[in-house]
Structure 1
Amino acid sequence: MKCATVAIIGRPSSGKSTLVNTICERKVSITASTPQTTRNAIRAIFTDQRGQLIFTDTPGYHTSEQTMNLRLQETTRSALGDSDAILYMVDPKRPAGAEEQAIVRLVLAAKVPVVIAINKKDIAKDAEIAEMRKYIAEHFSGETPVLELSAKDDTGVDEVLIALFKLAPEGELLYPEETYTDQPIEFRISEIIREKAIALVTEELPHAIYVEVADLEYSEESASIWIRAFIIVERETQKGIVVGHGGSGIKKIRQGAFKEVKKLFPGMQVHLDLRVKAQPKWRKNSIVLDRILR
């Protein structure tokens, strides 16, 4: 048996979370059209007859000096240092720039085996892929595996797994075979709600949202669970955008989240209570960031 920890790194919207979900055949990381949806190091576990790969889906690497972005950068750097291998995902639809160069430096400095995955094969032009291959060849040795895939269409994903298992050392499984993530249940609930909330709003507001599960109460007698959660924004004026006219927004968020949260508690009645409140400048508040970023 083989077992390895694999950090996935790439620019925002390169498809890291989509790949994790495709590999595990279920939702582990939330996805959205908004860049930098992932804020935490999300572990996803894939196990088959070859062994186990423990993926860490890291926040999209964005070279901003804002407080929250600096924390996200540190989360990514920490994941790289703790891994047996790195899966570097590249988006050929965007020209390589300063952010790509920063990622290359991080990957090379980690001094662990690397597999490079050129994603979005389903929509990228041949010339765009060729240009990205040229860029990769200028920075990595010819022995580094460079594969093309579409995480969305599940094409080329098996080849990525083959390449990673080749790099994996022999070892016992770190998680039971049926495990696909080790996220706490409260975190998974909050991420599902956040995904539905950011899909409802536009522009800068998705980045101003975080979700906190305040109460999680089980009742064995009625086989039910009550969940109370807060969708938190930065300004009072943003509350109305999330709530929507006549409560239509919060109702839509609750309905979308309820369907997925219910899957976490098979056979139980689920009650989901959502509220919206404002917490000014929370993205610059180290106490809040310590609590929600892990």
Structure 2
Amino acid sequence: MLKTKSEFVAIVGKPNAGKSSLLNSMIGEKIAIVSNKPQTTRTRITGVLTKESTQFVFIDTPGLHKPKTKLDEYMVKQVDDSVADVDTAVLVVDFQGEPAKAELELIDSFKSLHIPALLVINKIDTLAQKEQIIQRIDQYRSLFEFESVIPLSAKTGEGVEILLKELDKLAQEGPHFFPGDTMTDQPERVIAAEIIREKLLRNLSDEVPHGTAVEIESMKEREGADIIDIDAVIYCEKESHKGIIIGKGGAMLKKVATQARKELEDFLDIKVNLKTWVKVKDDWRNKESAVRSLGYN
């Protein structure tokens, strides 16, 4: 009988490095929302992958950035707590520019906490000259002794299997913490709220989507019918933002809700009746009580 192994892995890096895309690629299912806007991920999202005798528990963290609001402070704390709680860290970087201050701070954490870390150079599918990868590896290897360096593309999946094999080498003998078919510890309500927020991020521009939060007020299966009724409230920070989210004649809100409903039906494998409302919660990102009331605690 094979002895079981387990490993808690923090996926860390600066905003927009592709951490959530990498998590989804490793799990083989979309459990973390993705957009091209920084700070899409606000909380620690746990993804679980049981591969033969090894169970990986991945923690997708917000991008490390300088906090400007109470919500930002909460997000930065999520990163710090995650790194302190895991067996291994995966630092995700792209292939351009100098190492960012946030990345240097993370490397300092690896050193002080004595955490083994792997370096992932993401987005190689967009790289014209592969020689750039060698330069990038040298750049980061001069800063820290990474267990291994894996160039990959979270988007296409190239190199992801290699990363999993390298992680498996660091897994320790021990029990599995989740049933073998578990993909995430996130409640369905949380995932539903995040799917709606993703559609806001993708459809709205400038600062508006960053000031939104989504709360699922009710989510229940209709008796005698294969359908789930979901009531969701979208909170924003200003009355002017409310008008933008609703759109002319309700067009923007309808577009967001339609996209979210379709994805929810795929995820939940059941028909969804989604109703959405937009409410103003003035400057909520700067009020600790408001941040906590919206689930960021």
Range class of TM-score, shorter chain: over 0.9
TM-score by length of 1: 0.94
Q: Are 2:140 and 1:131 aligned?
A: no
Secondary structure in 1 matching 2:268: coil
Any gaps of 5 or more consecutive residues in structure 2? none
Is the 1:50–1:165 Cα contact (8 Å) retained in structure 2? no
**Aligned-partner Cα distance in 2 for 1:110–1:249:** 47
Per-residue Cα deviation, 1:91-128 (whole angstroms, up to 9, x for no partner):
22243232222222223223121111111111234454
Residue number among 13, 17, 20 corresponding to 1:10 in the alignment: 13
- Aligned counterpart, 1:145: 148
Q: Give the deviation of 1:39 after TM superposition.
A: 0.2
- Aligned counterpart, 2:276: 274
Q: Give the deviation of 1:226 after TM superposition.
A: 1.3
Question: Residue 282 of structure 1 aligns to which amino acid in structure 2?
Answer: W
Secondary structure in 2 matching 1:39: coil
**Aligned-partner Cα distance in 2 for 1:66–1:244:** 27
- Aligned counterpart, 1:216: 219
- Aligned counterpart, 1:179: 182
Report which stretch shifted further, 91-100 or 173-182: 91-100
Is the 1:92–1:132 Cα contact (8 Å) retained in structure 2? yes
**Aligned-partner Cα distance in 2 for 1:103–1:253:** 35
Q: Give the deviation of 1:181 after TM superposition.
A: 0.5
Map of 1:155-166 to 2, 5 A cutoff?
A: 155-166=158-169
Map of 1:25-174 to 2, 5 A cutoff?
A: 25-124=28-127, 125-126=129-130, 128-141=132-145, 144-174=147-177
Per-residue Cα deviation, 1:72-108 (whole angstroms, up to 9, x for no partner):
1100110111111111111222432322222222232
Per-residue Cα deviation, 1:264-287 (whole angstroms, up to 9, x for no partner):
433x44210011111111001112
**Aligned-partner Cα distance in 1 for 2:108–2:208:** 31
**Aligned-partner Cα distance in 1 for 2:8–2:103:** 23
Question: Residue 131 of structure 1 aligns to which amino acid in structure 2?
Answer: Q
Identical amino acids, percent of aligned pairs: 32
Instruction: Give aligned pairs, total.
Output: 292
Report which stretch shifted further, 77-86 or 218-227: 218-227
Question: Residue 77 of structure 2 aligns to which amino acid in structure 1?
Answer: E
Is the 1:200–1:242 Cα contact (8 Å) retained in structure 2? no
Per-residue Cα deviation, 1:174-220 (whole angstroms, up to 9, x for no partner):
11111101101110100000001111111111211111111223323
Question: Residue 90 of structure 1 aligns to which amino acid in structure 2?
Answer: V
Is the 2:99–2:140 Cα contact (8 Å) retained in structure 1? no
- Aligned counterpart, 2:248: 245
- Aligned counterpart, 1:287: 289
**Aligned-partner Cα distance in 1 for 2:170–2:181:** 23
Secondary structure in 1 matching 2:219: strand
Q: Give the deviation of 1:288 after TM superposition.
A: 2.4
RMSD over aligned CA atoms reads 1.6
**Aligned-partner Cα distance in 2 for 1:117–1:269:** 38
Secondary structure in 2 matching 1:105: helix
Secondary structure in 1 matching 2:109: helix
